[in-house]
Amino acid sequence: METKEFTVATPTDFSAVIVRLMTQKAPRSGAYCICLTGQLGAGKTTFTQQLAAHLGVTEPVTSPTFGIMKSYDLADHPNYDQLVHIDAYRIEDISEAGPLRLTEIFAEARTLICLEWPEMIAEILPTECVNMTIEIGEGEERRVVVRD
């Protein structure tokens, strides 16, 4: 497992992190899952918004906290057909994940997943995940640790 640290000057500039993640090889099978960990307000949704923009998503990307999951079409992308943004914050019991078909989504090839609060569904996560921790630093600064 390789670890890379980034210092992000503002929570709206994750470009170096995005470039690093998008140059990684996709998993041999299943979705490419980025598990986002950090306290409320650290920048998990902001990262996902910037990644979506980088991938060509033009519709607004908002936190799916109440809907739990939102999917975005990635037409004409060479590696991915869809971006799925999951916020597991409100999942209180793993049995709630069943109706959402999360294990099926994790198995879908050509799918890129940004998963906020992965610890809420740790027992069903795919084995090949990129773990990204965002910590609030001084001022607007963020410390980002990527483990892949």
CATH of the domain at 78: 3.40.50.300
Sheet holding 32-37, edge to edge: 3-8, 142-147, 129-136, 32-37, 111-116, 82-87, 69-73
Judge whether 13 lies within some domain: no
**Tell me: the pLDDT tens digits for 76-121?**
888 899 999 999 998 999 998 888 899 999 999 999 999 999 999 9
**Tell me: the pLDDT tens digits for 48-86?**
999 999 999 999 998 887 789 999 999 888 889 999 999
Judge whether 3 lies within some domain: no
Judge whether 5 lies within some domain: no
Share of the chain above pLDDT 70, in %: 96
Judge whether 141 lies within some domain: no
**Tell me: the pLDDT tens digits for 28-39?**
678 999 999 999
Judge whether 81 lies within some domain: yes
Domain containing 130: what range?
30-136
Residue 135 has pLDDT above 90, yes or no: yes
Judge whether 142 lies within some domain: no
Judge whether 6 lies within some domain: no
The pLDDT score that the predictor gives to residue 121 is 95
Q: Mean pLDDT throughout 11-21?
A: 86
Element (H, E) at 13: none
**Total domain count, the chain:** 1
Judge whether 14 lies within some domain: no
